[in-house]
Amino acid sequence: MSSIKLATWNINSVRLRPKLIEQFVTAENPDILCLQEIKCANEQFPSKFFEKLGYGHIAVHGQKAYHGVATVSKVPIEETTRSFFADKDDARHICTRIADDVEIHNFYIPSGGDEPDRDKNEKFDHKLKFIKDAAAWFKKRKNKRQNKMVLVGDLNIAPLENDVWSHKQLLKVVSHTPIEVEHLGELQASHNWVDLVRTERPEPEKIFSWWSYRSPDWTKNNRGRRLDHIWITPALQDRTHSTKVLTEARGWEKPSDHVPVIARLDV
Protein backbone atom coordinates (compact mmCIF):
# COMPACT_ATOMS: atom_id res chain seq x y z
CA MET A 1 0.00 0.00 0.00
CA SER A 2 1.30 3.44 -0.95
CA SER A 3 0.20 7.01 -0.40
CA ILE A 4 -1.09 9.10 -3.29
CA LYS A 5 -1.88 12.79 -3.47
CA LEU A 6 -5.13 13.60 -5.22
CA ALA A 7 -6.33 17.06 -6.24
CA THR A 8 -9.56 18.40 -7.71
CA TRP A 9 -9.74 21.75 -9.49
CA ASN A 10 -12.26 23.58 -11.64
CA ILE A 11 -9.72 25.03 -14.04
CA ASN A 12 -12.17 27.19 -16.05
CA SER A 13 -10.65 26.32 -19.46
CA VAL A 14 -7.67 23.98 -19.48
CA ARG A 15 -6.16 25.43 -22.66
CA LEU A 16 -6.17 28.98 -21.30
CA ARG A 17 -4.26 28.20 -18.10
CA PRO A 18 -1.18 26.05 -18.81
CA LYS A 19 1.09 28.33 -16.74
CA LEU A 20 -1.34 28.12 -13.82
CA ILE A 21 -1.41 24.33 -14.02
CA GLU A 22 2.37 24.14 -14.23
CA GLN A 23 2.67 26.44 -11.21
CA PHE A 24 0.33 24.21 -9.23
CA VAL A 25 2.05 20.98 -10.24
CA THR A 26 5.44 22.46 -9.31
CA ALA A 27 4.13 23.57 -5.92
CA GLU A 28 2.07 20.53 -4.94
CA ASN A 29 3.04 17.64 -7.25
CA PRO A 30 -0.22 15.67 -7.04
CA ASP A 31 -0.21 12.09 -8.29
CA ILE A 32 -3.74 12.47 -9.66
CA LEU A 33 -5.34 15.70 -10.83
CA CYS A 34 -9.07 15.85 -11.52
CA LEU A 35 -10.12 18.85 -13.59
CA GLN A 36 -13.55 20.31 -14.26
CA GLU A 37 -14.85 22.83 -16.79
CA ILE A 38 -12.09 21.99 -19.22
CA LYS A 39 -14.11 23.60 -22.06
CA CYS A 40 -12.77 21.49 -24.91
CA ALA A 41 -13.61 18.38 -26.89
CA ASN A 42 -11.66 15.18 -26.22
CA GLU A 43 -9.39 15.66 -29.24
CA GLN A 44 -8.60 19.25 -28.18
CA PHE A 45 -7.37 18.28 -24.72
CA PRO A 46 -3.64 19.17 -24.30
CA SER A 47 -2.47 15.64 -23.56
CA LYS A 48 1.13 16.25 -24.62
CA PHE A 49 1.39 19.15 -22.18
CA PHE A 50 0.32 16.92 -19.29
CA GLU A 51 2.57 14.09 -20.43
CA LYS A 52 5.54 16.46 -20.25
CA LEU A 53 4.53 17.24 -16.66
CA GLY A 54 4.65 13.52 -15.86
CA TYR A 55 0.98 12.62 -16.25
CA GLY A 56 1.14 9.72 -18.65
CA HIS A 57 -2.33 8.38 -17.92
CA ILE A 58 -5.18 10.57 -19.15
CA ALA A 59 -8.96 10.21 -19.23
CA VAL A 60 -11.17 12.89 -20.78
CA HIS A 61 -14.90 13.45 -21.13
CA GLY A 62 -15.17 16.74 -22.94
CA GLN A 63 -17.27 18.74 -25.34
CA LYS A 64 -16.60 21.79 -27.47
CA ALA A 65 -16.48 25.11 -25.57
CA TYR A 66 -18.45 24.07 -22.48
CA HIS A 67 -18.29 21.91 -19.37
CA GLY A 68 -16.10 18.80 -19.52
CA VAL A 69 -14.04 16.82 -17.02
CA ALA A 70 -10.61 15.18 -17.18
CA THR A 71 -8.46 13.08 -14.89
CA VAL A 72 -4.69 13.02 -15.41
CA SER A 73 -2.56 10.63 -13.41
CA LYS A 74 1.00 9.57 -12.71
CA VAL A 75 -0.28 6.18 -11.56
CA PRO A 76 -1.81 3.74 -14.06
CA ILE A 77 -5.49 4.02 -14.87
CA GLU A 78 -6.85 0.52 -15.25
CA GLU A 79 -10.31 1.38 -16.54
CA THR A 80 -12.27 4.48 -17.59
CA THR A 81 -16.04 4.89 -17.76
CA ARG A 82 -18.20 7.90 -18.57
CA SER A 83 -21.78 8.42 -17.41
CA PHE A 84 -24.44 11.05 -17.91
CA PHE A 85 -27.41 12.02 -15.78
CA ALA A 86 -30.77 13.78 -16.19
CA ASP A 87 -31.01 12.47 -19.75
CA LYS A 88 -28.33 14.81 -21.06
CA ASP A 89 -24.77 13.96 -22.02
CA ASP A 90 -23.08 17.28 -21.29
CA ALA A 91 -19.71 15.82 -20.24
CA ARG A 92 -20.00 16.14 -16.47
CA HIS A 93 -18.68 12.80 -15.17
CA ILE A 94 -15.76 10.47 -15.66
CA CYS A 95 -14.71 7.51 -13.52
CA THR A 96 -11.19 6.13 -13.44
CA ARG A 97 -10.27 2.91 -11.66
CA ILE A 98 -6.76 2.66 -10.27
CA ALA A 99 -4.92 0.05 -8.19
CA ASP A 100 -6.70 -1.87 -5.43
CA ASP A 101 -10.04 -1.36 -7.24
CA VAL A 102 -10.28 2.26 -6.12
CA GLU A 103 -12.71 4.24 -8.26
CA ILE A 104 -12.31 8.01 -8.65
CA HIS A 105 -15.51 9.73 -9.76
CA ASN A 106 -14.82 13.18 -11.17
CA PHE A 107 -17.97 15.37 -11.31
CA TYR A 108 -18.95 18.78 -12.58
CA ILE A 109 -22.50 19.30 -11.34
CA PRO A 110 -24.51 21.94 -13.26
CA SER A 111 -24.38 25.42 -11.77
CA GLY A 112 -28.14 25.89 -12.02
CA GLY A 113 -28.42 29.38 -13.46
CA ASP A 114 -29.42 32.45 -11.48
CA GLU A 115 -32.98 31.89 -10.28
CA PRO A 116 -33.64 29.12 -7.71
CA ASP A 117 -37.04 28.19 -9.14
CA ARG A 118 -37.23 24.96 -11.09
CA ASP A 119 -40.52 25.97 -12.75
CA LYS A 120 -39.11 29.23 -14.08
CA ASN A 121 -35.49 28.19 -14.58
CA GLU A 122 -34.75 25.15 -16.72
CA LYS A 123 -31.10 25.14 -15.64
CA PHE A 124 -32.04 24.92 -11.98
CA ASP A 125 -34.45 22.06 -12.68
CA HIS A 126 -31.71 20.26 -14.61
CA LYS A 127 -29.31 20.66 -11.70
CA LEU A 128 -31.72 19.08 -9.23
CA LYS A 129 -32.56 16.23 -11.61
CA PHE A 130 -28.85 15.61 -12.20
CA ILE A 131 -28.19 15.25 -8.47
CA LYS A 132 -31.24 13.00 -8.00
CA ASP A 133 -30.09 10.72 -10.81
CA ALA A 134 -26.54 10.56 -9.48
CA ALA A 135 -27.83 9.69 -6.00
CA ALA A 136 -30.03 6.91 -7.39
CA TRP A 137 -27.11 5.60 -9.45
CA PHE A 138 -24.81 5.31 -6.44
CA LYS A 139 -27.57 3.94 -4.24
CA LYS A 140 -27.89 0.93 -6.54
CA ARG A 141 -24.27 0.00 -5.94
CA LYS A 142 -24.08 -2.86 -3.49
CA ASN A 143 -21.44 -3.69 -0.85
CA LYS A 144 -21.38 -0.23 0.70
CA ARG A 145 -18.83 -1.42 3.26
CA GLN A 146 -16.50 -2.77 0.59
CA ASN A 147 -16.74 -0.34 -2.33
CA LYS A 148 -13.63 1.86 -2.43
CA MET A 149 -14.71 5.05 -4.12
CA VAL A 150 -13.68 8.69 -4.18
CA LEU A 151 -16.04 11.40 -5.40
CA VAL A 152 -14.43 14.72 -6.28
CA GLY A 153 -15.24 17.83 -8.21
CA ASP A 154 -17.07 21.08 -8.51
CA LEU A 155 -20.41 20.10 -7.01
CA ASN A 156 -21.65 23.70 -7.27
CA ILE A 157 -23.27 23.56 -3.83
CA ALA A 158 -21.96 24.94 -0.55
CA PRO A 159 -24.00 22.82 1.89
CA LEU A 160 -23.10 24.10 5.35
CA GLU A 161 -23.65 27.47 7.00
CA ASN A 162 -19.92 28.11 7.20
CA ASP A 163 -19.32 27.02 3.62
CA VAL A 164 -20.47 30.49 2.55
CA TRP A 165 -19.54 34.00 3.61
CA SER A 166 -23.10 34.73 4.80
CA HIS A 167 -25.61 31.97 5.41
CA LYS A 168 -28.56 34.34 5.80
CA GLN A 169 -27.79 36.43 2.73
CA LEU A 170 -27.26 33.41 0.47
CA LEU A 171 -30.25 31.28 1.45
CA LYS A 172 -32.05 32.38 -1.73
CA VAL A 173 -28.96 32.37 -3.93
CA VAL A 174 -28.27 29.39 -6.19
CA SER A 175 -25.59 27.12 -4.65
CA HIS A 176 -26.81 27.50 -1.06
CA THR A 177 -30.59 27.19 -1.20
CA PRO A 178 -32.28 24.67 1.10
CA ILE A 179 -33.52 22.50 -1.78
CA GLU A 180 -30.02 22.21 -3.25
CA VAL A 181 -28.56 21.36 0.14
CA GLU A 182 -31.28 18.75 0.60
CA HIS A 183 -30.52 17.16 -2.76
CA LEU A 184 -26.77 17.13 -2.08
CA GLY A 185 -27.52 15.48 1.26
CA GLU A 186 -29.35 12.71 -0.60
CA LEU A 187 -26.33 12.24 -2.84
CA GLN A 188 -24.04 12.07 0.18
CA ALA A 189 -26.34 9.55 1.89
CA SER A 190 -26.59 7.42 -1.26
CA HIS A 191 -23.36 5.61 -0.45
CA ASN A 192 -22.55 6.93 3.03
CA TRP A 193 -20.02 9.36 1.57
CA VAL A 194 -17.61 11.05 3.99
CA ASP A 195 -16.81 14.75 3.40
CA LEU A 196 -13.05 14.72 3.93
CA VAL A 197 -12.44 18.43 4.34
CA ARG A 198 -15.19 18.87 6.91
CA THR A 199 -14.15 15.71 8.75
CA GLU A 200 -10.73 17.23 9.29
CA ARG A 201 -11.88 20.86 9.64
CA PRO A 202 -15.40 20.87 11.12
CA GLU A 203 -17.67 23.84 11.55
CA PRO A 204 -17.70 26.60 12.69
CA GLU A 205 -14.49 27.16 10.70
CA LYS A 206 -15.27 28.92 7.43
CA ILE A 207 -13.83 27.22 4.35
CA PHE A 208 -14.13 28.49 0.78
CA SER A 209 -12.88 27.20 -2.58
CA TRP A 210 -14.51 29.74 -4.93
CA TRP A 211 -14.52 33.54 -5.14
CA SER A 212 -16.38 35.48 -7.83
CA TYR A 213 -14.49 37.32 -10.54
CA ARG A 214 -16.90 40.19 -9.93
CA SER A 215 -15.19 41.11 -6.69
CA PRO A 216 -12.47 43.75 -7.27
CA ASP A 217 -10.47 42.38 -4.34
CA TRP A 218 -11.41 38.86 -3.29
CA THR A 219 -9.06 38.98 -0.30
CA LYS A 220 -10.60 42.12 1.17
CA ASN A 221 -14.22 41.01 1.54
CA ASN A 222 -13.53 37.23 1.36
CA ARG A 223 -17.01 36.50 0.04
CA GLY A 224 -16.35 32.91 -0.91
CA ARG A 225 -18.19 29.61 -1.09
CA ARG A 226 -17.05 25.99 -0.68
CA LEU A 227 -18.21 24.50 -3.97
CA ASP A 228 -15.39 21.98 -4.52
CA HIS A 229 -15.37 18.74 -2.58
CA ILE A 230 -13.59 15.45 -1.95
CA TRP A 231 -15.73 12.62 -0.57
CA ILE A 232 -14.80 9.01 0.12
CA THR A 233 -16.74 5.87 0.94
CA PRO A 234 -16.42 4.35 4.43
CA ALA A 235 -14.16 1.60 3.05
CA LEU A 236 -11.46 4.24 2.54
CA GLN A 237 -12.02 6.26 5.69
CA ASP A 238 -9.04 4.81 7.54
CA ARG A 239 -6.73 5.42 4.58
CA THR A 240 -6.70 9.22 4.49
CA HIS A 241 -4.04 11.43 6.03
CA SER A 242 -4.70 15.08 5.34
CA THR A 243 -6.61 17.61 3.25
CA LYS A 244 -5.74 21.06 1.97
CA VAL A 245 -7.54 23.93 0.25
CA LEU A 246 -4.96 25.91 -1.71
CA THR A 247 -6.49 29.34 -1.12
CA GLU A 248 -3.43 31.22 -2.38
CA ALA A 249 -4.02 29.90 -5.91
CA ARG A 250 -6.91 32.35 -6.26
CA GLY A 251 -4.32 35.13 -6.20
CA TRP A 252 -2.06 33.66 -8.89
CA GLU A 253 -1.77 35.32 -12.30
CA LYS A 254 -4.87 34.83 -14.50
CA PRO A 255 -6.47 32.45 -11.99
CA SER A 256 -9.50 30.27 -12.12
CA ASP A 257 -12.26 31.47 -9.82
CA HIS A 258 -11.88 28.10 -8.04
CA VAL A 259 -8.84 26.81 -6.14
CA PRO A 260 -7.55 23.24 -5.85
CA VAL A 261 -8.65 20.95 -3.03
CA ILE A 262 -6.15 18.25 -2.13
CA ALA A 263 -6.19 15.00 -0.13
CA ARG A 264 -3.74 12.17 0.64
CA LEU A 265 -4.99 8.61 0.36
CA ASP A 266 -3.49 5.14 0.83
CA VAL A 267 -4.16 2.67 -1.97
pLDDT (0 to 100) of residue 45:
98
Mean pLDDT of the 140-162 span:
93
> Which range of residues forms the domain containing residue 252?
3-266
pLDDT band at 31 (very low <50, low <70, confident <90, very high): very high
Q: Per residue in 126-159, is it b (16+ CB within 10 Å) or e — as a string?
A: bbbbbbbbbbebbeeeeeeeebbbbbbbbbbbbb
Number of domains in the chain: 1
Say how far apart CA 165 and CA 176 lie, in whole Å.
11
Residue 40 belongs to a domain with what CATH number? Answer: 3.60.10.10
The tens digit of pLDDT for each residue in 53-107 reads 999 999 999 999 999 999 999 999 999 999 999 999 999 999 999 999 999 999 9
The tens digit of pLDDT for each residue in 79-94 reads 999 999 999 999 999 9
pLDDT (0 to 100) of residue 1:
72
pLDDT (0 to 100) of residue 215:
82
| % residues pLDDT > 90 (the chain) | 93
Residue 267 has pLDDT above 90, yes or no: no
